[in-house]
A and B are shown apart, each in its own frame.
Chain A
Amino acid sequence: MLRLEAIYWLIGALLAVVAWFNLRERRWAVAAFWAVLACPFGFGEWIQHATAAGTHWPAQMMGLGVIALGLLAASGTLHPDAASIDERRDSARRLGNRLFVPALAIPLATLALVLGARFLVWNGAPLLDKAQPTLVALGLACVIALLVARRTTRAPATQALSEGRRLLDTLGSAALLPMVLATLGSVFAATGVGDAVASLVGAVIPVDNRYACLAAFALGMVLFTTIMGNAFAAFPVMMAGIGLPLLVLKHGAAPAVLGSLGMLTGYCGTLLTPMAANFNIVPAVLLELPDEYAVIRAQLPTAFALLTVNLLLMAWLIFR
């Protein structure tokens, strides 16, 4: 069976290669950054097993690594494109639509693998990890697409690595931000930040008015998602503080509607915040926009219109 762990090892290997490229050019800090980041992919499962077995030092070393990443995090470094615009135009004319095939192979192969997962059996065991079929399929699709791309372009294997390195170095620490933010969410949950917020909010709003409770819940979801960059992190906090005790138990709100619309209200907050870096900041860097908040600016009107719609939907549907 192809486990998700194998895909992680592949990512670890890629990051190690990027570190090696930088090491050869004596860019020590950048090399160290990618080398440390390769660790959770190379040794992740081992760290988790060690923790489960009660051995804490591997996880603690990784914790030190996270702090080191924070200190090393360099802003992106731009490498000039290896090929001039004329070379790229010539090659585009020569290869034509065949260039699309590997790019589309990533989504299409993922789709085919996910849909065909149940037919892919090796010695009686499913070929793809059943727990995370989409993620394994995506990883596998990237490998397939790379093989197709090499066939199409007849490029040497090292060129794919150096081009991948060019994009990764351009992203720099922006590539890492989603992972450290999710880590922060876990840390907040473990240190009782959620409980503290819930008790503060409960002290401020008039709890006998159901619409006041609803407004506090919805705006709390938006505010917390904006601060933490993640509606998933905000949801348990607001549900434990307001949603469950006040809306569901005291005012009889429908839990299914509250959960679903509450989460989507949080998503409106995700559209507004630089903390949701993988959605809002990474694309601004990927698309080489001069203003790193340009994507958020483009989302603002939609986010506020949807927030209004969501508030009305909740007020209408929740108390029926």
Chain B
Amino acid sequence: MNYWPLIGIAVVVAGFALKRNPVLVVVAAGVASALAAGMSIGDLLALLGNSFVSNRALLLFVLTLPVIGLLERYGLREHAQAWITSFRNLSLARLLIAYLGARQVLSMFGLIDLAGHAQTVRPLVAPMSEAAAEHGGARPLPDAERARVRALAAATDNIGRFFGEDVFLAFGAVLLIQGFYERNGIHMEPLAIALWALPTAICAFVIHAIRICWFQRTLERAHVPTTEAGDVAA
């Protein structure tokens, strides 16, 4: 057994720990592993090039950027904030929990790229969450808390996506699992694998929904004492 290719993992861990440019770290790790495995320079370059080309679907989100950029130039984010303000009763928790549920259900039907950080979170969910947390501008948030609200919106998108997509039959993960067993002589239907993702999907929804409510409570509490202190001072 040749253990030297493990040096690639060491390069990744060290590079990220030292906060080097991530793209450079990753490329260096690949080169290190390949050289340690005794690959020739020609094979190494071909392996890098072919792997890079076959993974290019991951950059598809780039096509949404001209639309999103144009709409932002014409005030999409400003309007989304104004629009959410008109729903005075929609709290931050209700908004994000509804989004979480919708994201999970859509992913379960294979509509994984319908939403996402570039498609929906930046233009819609994040500004809406901010506006809801501010009760429509009635209670402006300090910058640090505004950033936490945005981060929670992005986290909600990730969790909804991850713990919905594995229930979908034709999704890569299910096919990867099925393919692995198939190559090792264990035959099973994709449906048998996908259904076992349901318990975790339900738990993910419940746990994250509770956390969203919790977050809203701490946000409100952080505000109440300052107003009271202000009142006392006045």
Residue in contact with A178 in the complex, picked from B58, B65, B68, B166, CB distance below 8 Å: B58
Is A302 a contact of B204 with CB atoms below 8 Å?
A: yes
- Answer whether residue A221 sits at the interface, using C-beta atoms and an 8 A cutoff: no
- Answer whether residue A256 sits at the interface, using C-beta atoms and an 8 A cutoff: yes
> What residues on A are CB-neighbors of B172 within 8 Å?
232
Is B126 a contact of A287 with CB atoms below 8 Å?
A: yes
Is B66 a contact of A164 with CB atoms below 8 Å?
A: yes
> What residues on A are CB-neighbors of B72 within 8 Å?
81, 88, 163
Is A196 a contact of B27 with CB atoms below 8 Å?
A: no
Binary per-residue interface labels of chain A (45-66) against chain B in the complex, 1 for a CB within 8 Å, 0 otherwise: 0011001000010111111111
Interface residues of B in 58-74 (CB under 8 A from A): 58-60, 62-74
A261, B203: Cα distance in complex, Å = 12
Interface size class of A (residues with CB under 8 A): 35 or more
A11, B53: Cα distance in complex, Å = 13
- Answer whether residue A204 sits at the interface, using C-beta atoms and an 8 A cutoff: no
Q: How far is the CB of B12 from chain A (nearest CB, A)?
A: 6
Q: Which of A11, A89, A277, A295 has the most CB of B within 10 A?
A: A295
Is B62 a contact of A15 with CB atoms below 8 Å?
A: yes
**With known contacts A256-B196, A306-B203, A81–B71 Cβ distance under 8 A:** no
> What residues on B are CB-neighbors of A287 within 8 Å?
117, 121-122, 126, 150-151, 153-154
A15, B66: Cα distance in complex, Å = 11
Is B204 a contact of A263 with CB atoms below 8 Å?
A: no
**With known contacts A92-B76, A191-B5, A299-B155, A7–B52 Cβ distance under 8 A:** no
> What residues on A are CB-neighbors of B64 within 8 Å?
106, 142, 145
Is B60 a contact of A302 with CB atoms below 8 Å?
A: no
Q: In the complex, which residue of chain A has the Cβ closest to the Cβ of B55?
A: A182
Q: In the complex, which residue of chain B has the Cβ closest to the Cβ of A51?
A: B50
- Answer whether residue B39 sits at the interface, using C-beta atoms and an 8 A cutoff: yes
> What residues on B are CB-neighbors of A167 within 8 Å?
65, 68-69
Is A60 a contact of B45 with CB atoms below 8 Å?
A: yes
> What residues on A are CB-neighbors of B59 within 8 Å?
11, 37, 41, 175-176, 178-179
> What residues on B are CB-neighbors of A228 within 8 Å?
12
Interface residues of A in 65-85 (CB under 8 A from B): 65-67, 69-71, 73, 75, 81-83, 85
Interface residues of B in 142-199 (CB under 8 A from A): 143, 147-148, 150-155, 157-159, 162-163, 166, 172-174, 176-178, 180-181, 184, 186, 188, 192-197, 199
A310, B13: Cα distance in complex, Å = 26
| B interface residues with partner A (beta carbon < 8 Å) | 1-3, 5-6, 8-9, 12-13, 16, 21-24, 26-31, 33-34, 36-37, 39, 42, 44-60, 62-80, 82-83, 110-115, 117-124, 126, 143, 147-148, 150-155, 157-159, 162-163, 166, 172-174, 176-178, 180-181, 184, 186, 188, 192-197, 199-200, 203-204, 207-208, 211
